[in-house]
Chain A
Amino acid sequence: MILKLAWRNIWRNKRRTLIVMLSIIVSVSVLLLVDTLSVGMVKQMLDNQINIHISHIQVHKKGFKDDKTVKNYIPDDLKVEKAITETKEIKSYSKRIITYGMINSAYNSSSAIIVGVQPDKEKSITIISNSISKGRYLENENEILLSKKLAQKLNVEIGDKVVLMVSDVDGNISSELFRVVGLYESPYSEFDKLHVYIVIQDAQKILKLDDKVIEFAIIVKDSKYVNHVKERLVQKLGDLYEVLTYADVAPFISIMLDIYYQMIWIYYLIFGVAVCFGVINIMLMSVFERVREFGVLKAIGMKNKDIFLLIMTESFIIGVLGTIIGLALGFALYIPLSKSGIDLGIFAESLAWYGVGRVIYPVLTNFTLALVAFTMPFMSLIGAIYPAVKSIKIEPVEAIKYI
């Protein structure tokens, strides 16, 4: 009976109910879009960081993270390779040499992070081979891959020569001539400014590392295995090695995730409070309009808890209906956008600075869905408390006289 009464009561003043419901519908659909876009942006940022360079897991000699010098090469790369190949959750891996140096052209010079890679294997670790804007990916010795940005700075083109200068494993300055074979353009502009690629044999030669390597970059079959694989490798490799996940390598990603979670709560709070006040407003009006009716209900024996429940139910129905329609509207917008993405071309430069592409694909998580679905019905209940308390304070003897 309370449900029946509540349902009919909310349609007594259709316009008023529809206005507050509309505010819930808009809030729910906007929150759904803003939240899924934010998740999409953070996910893209994380994926880009992993796919451009970091990979899921990196293995180094212990101490490399804090002292990235060539001397910290992996002492027994066969042992590491064996541990990796024995771990079935690992999809692919690649050996790398990483060092700092200078790159000089005939016109300009720049500092650089020089990455020696196994071209074939590296293709299954990062997207750099797919991000070539001009020329081709590395194939042979004495070839170098630069970013388009760095090439512009150095004023070089495909086929031009550049000289790399590094400090070798003995601390001596060593240099080598390379021919530019390709220019890449990753989604992360800050990365592009520094990273240059050569084949691993060239890097070993120039650094006098013989066949030693500095890093193993690993991609696991599913990102949920990352921590498990890390533990397995730590067990197998012991104290001489450091095994780092992407979260260890790039802590700013977890900071970005934290910022996202804090920001999203603020969004929910703002929309939730706005809806809450809307509900307080209409439910109070509705209670004042029905003072006599409440008096009658009490006179015939309806208990205060039932009257309280009636008001709460009315508000809850509005919250739930608004949320269902809002979710439907939100999905109608989300589904096509999740396929086509949203082109934020005008912000492309600043997005690239954060490692995000110009097209953002919204991503819906269970957490977002739960949060969007529960916020407005919950806030509708909160908003109904005050009017409901008012309604139970009505004295029947006064209320029946009320016009």
Chain B
Amino acid sequence: MTIIKTENLTKIYSDGKVEVVALKDVSLEILSGEFIVIAGPSGSGKTTLLNLIGGLDKPTKGKVYLEGKDITVMKREELSDLRLRKIGFIFQAYNLIPVLTVFENVELPLVLLGIPEKERFERVMEVLKALGIAELVNKKPNEISGGQQQRVAIARAIVTEPAIVLADEPTAHLDSKTGGMLIDIMQEMNQTRRITFVICSHDPQVIQRARRLIKLRDGMVESDEKLW
């Protein structure tokens, strides 16, 4: 089943004088359960593509369909709702809310969804156990390591059981061992829970694990291959 489809996706940044083409005519189809790595050098348009797929940014031209619906025409509030229900985000810098505990950070999207307290508790604990960080529930983000913070970020992204998780350079701030463990976890979640992952990265150990590798260069798709 197709989850994401992009048609001639183009993004041009302009400051009035100079125009920079960040993405040009990218057409992709992402299927349910895929584990995709988007690779490419800095400035190749990886993050721009991810932001457009995630409804965080509007394209200059082209369309993004999420489960068949065109998200490029959606209003701000509709997009918020869509992100909450369908998309999980994992950022390079973890971006946990510093005043909330690990439990509360993971619980936050479920609160926004209006899920009752008891069910929230069960779902959060289940995800935290699956990620091996259940003992950290009462810690604040500044009390745990970078690798642990990124696991919490993964927990936050998958707790709502989204259609797709978008991760932007998730291992960039981690050492290679921790980064490798994290990719293992994402892969495990992909396989056991059938969560679709789209990961932007130029980390070789992330690229190695890709089941489908999309290479971008100068805002265009250089190659798109299924590896295994």
Contact of B77 among A12, A303, A396 (CB under 8 A): A303
Contacts A304-B77, A396-B56; A299 near B89 (Cβ below 8 A)? yes
CB <8 Å contact, B99 and A300: no
The DSSP consensus for interface residues of chain B is: helix
Instruction: Tell yes or no: B95 within 8 A of A by CB.
Output: yes
CB <8 Å contact, A301 and B99: no
Instruction: Tell yes or no: A296 within 8 A of B by CB.
Output: yes
Residues of A within 8 A of B74 (CB): none
The DSSP consensus for interface residues of chain A is: helix
CB <8 Å contact, A303 and B111: no
CB <8 Å contact, A8 and B99: yes
CB <8 Å contact, A300 and B57: no
Tell me the smallest distance from the CB of B164 to a CB of chain A, in Å: 14
For chain B, residues 88 to 104, give those with C-beta under 8 angstroms from any C-beta of chain A.
Answer: 88-89, 91, 95, 97-100, 104
Contact of A296 among B51, B76, B82, B97 (CB under 8 A): B97
Instruction: Tell yes or no: B137 within 8 A of A by CB.
Output: no
CB <8 Å contact, A5 and B57: no
Residues of B within 8 A of A300 (CB): 83-84, 88-89, 108-109, 112, 156
For chain A, residues 375 to 401, give those with C-beta under 8 angstroms from any C-beta of chain B.
Answer: 396-397, 400
Q: Interface size (A, Cβ < 8 Å)?
A: 22
Contacts A9-B99, A296-B97; A301 near B104 (Cβ below 8 A)? no
CB <8 Å contact, B95 and A292: yes
Tell me the smallest distance from the CB of B73 to a CB of chain A, in Å: 18
CB <8 Å contact, A400 and B104: no
In angstroms, Cα B109 to Cα A396, docked, is 16
Tell me the smallest distance from the CB of B76 to a CB of chain A, in Å: 7
Instruction: Tell yes or no: B54 within 8 A of A by CB.
Output: yes
Residues of B within 8 A of A8 (CB): 99-100
Closest Cβ neighbor of A295 among chain B residues: B95
For chain A, residues 294 to 332, give those with C-beta under 8 angstroms from any C-beta of chain B.
Answer: 295-304, 306
Residues of A within 8 A of B217 (CB): none
In angstroms, Cα B80 to Cα A295, docked, is 12
CB <8 Å contact, A4 and B104: yes
Most chain A Cβ neighbours within 10 Å, of B51, B57, B95, B100: B95
Residues of A within 8 A of B88 (CB): 300
Instruction: Tell yes or no: B85 within 8 A of A by CB.
Output: yes
CB <8 Å contact, A5 and B84: no
In angstroms, Cα B97 to Cα A293, docked, is 7
Tell me the smallest distance from the CB of A136 to a CB of chain B, in Å: 76
Instruction: Tell yes or no: B29 within 8 A of A by CB.
Output: no
CB <8 Å contact, A302 and B80: yes
CB <8 Å contact, A303 and B99: no
In angstroms, Cα B95 to Cα A295, docked, is 9
Instruction: Tell yes or no: A1 within 8 A of B by CB.
Output: yes
In angstroms, Cα B111 to Cα A5, docked, is 12
In angstroms, Cα B97 to Cα A9, docked, is 10
Closest Cβ neighbor of A6 among chain B residues: B99
Instruction: Tell yes or no: B81 within 8 A of A by CB.
Output: yes
CB <8 Å contact, B97 and A301: no
In angstroms, Cα B57 to Cα A288, docked, is 21
CB <8 Å contact, B80 and A400: no
CB <8 Å contact, B76 and A5: no
CB <8 Å contact, A301 and B51: no
Residues of B within 8 A of A295 (CB): 95
CB <8 Å contact, A298 and B99: no
CB <8 Å contact, B108 and A400: no
CB <8 Å contact, A397 and B51: yes
CB <8 Å contact, B112 and A12: no
Q: Which 3 A-B pairs have the closest CB atoms?
A: A301-B84, A8-B99, A296-B95
Q: Mind listing 29 A-B residue pairs with CB under 8 Å?
A: A1-B104, A1-B108, A5-B97, A12-B98, A12-B99, A292-B95, A293-B95, A293-B98, A296-B89, A296-B91, A296-B95, A296-B97, A297-B97, A299-B54, A299-B89, A299-B91, A300-B83, A301-B80, A301-B83, A301-B84, A302-B80, A302-B84, A302-B112, A304-B76, A304-B77, A304-B80, A396-B56, A397-B51, A400-B95
